[in-house]
Amino acid sequence: QQPVQSPQAVILREGEDAVINCSSSKALYSVHWYRQKHGEAPVFLMILLKGGEQKGHEKISASFNEKKQQSSLYLTASQLSYSGTYFCGTEYSGGSQGNLIFGKGTKLSVKP
């Protein structure tokens, strides 16, 4: 039931791009993306709803492919502040509203 995130970890140089994927074997209603820095709580990035939408702000965007039950998070021209662990939280169609099941996370390290 837990969504699968890939890659598990990625190291970037400042200015490089990255893609983080989140896949589910069950039909998704929504996908929520968070970034967590060490010792801190997760920070909400964005939510994507069923319907195959795309969203973005600044240099972080995401897409939701309903057919593939997959969401991807795109980080462009990465900054040092992007470092952290990225989690996707999935809400399943027909499931309890608001209950998120989180993936294991993708650790992103941006080096100068």
Partner 1 sequence: GAVVSQHPSWVICKSGTSVKIECRSLDFQATTMFWYRQFPKQSLMLMATSNEGSKATYEQGVEKDKFLINHASLTLSTLTVTSAHPEDSSFYICSARTDPYEQYFGPGTRLTVT
Note whether 87 binds partner 1 by CB under 8 A.
yes
- Count CA atoms closer than 13 A to 93's CA, side-chain side: 11
Q: Which of residues 8-37 bind partner 1 (CB under 8 A)?
A: 30, 32, 34
Closer residue to partner 1, CB minimum distance, 74 or 102: 102
3 state DSSP class of 3:
coil
Helix (H) or strand (E) holding 74: strand 70-75
Q: Which of 4, 11, 37, 44 binds partner 1 (CB under 8 A)?
A: 44
Binding letters toward partner 1, positions 48-77, x by CB under 8 A:
-x----------------------------
Q: Residue 88: beta bridge partners?
A: 33
Could you tell me which of 72, 81, 17 has the C-alpha nearest to residue 46? 72
3 state DSSP class of 81:
helix
Binding site for partner 1 (CB under 8 A): 2, 30, 32, 34, 40-44, 47, 49, 87, 89, 96, 98-105
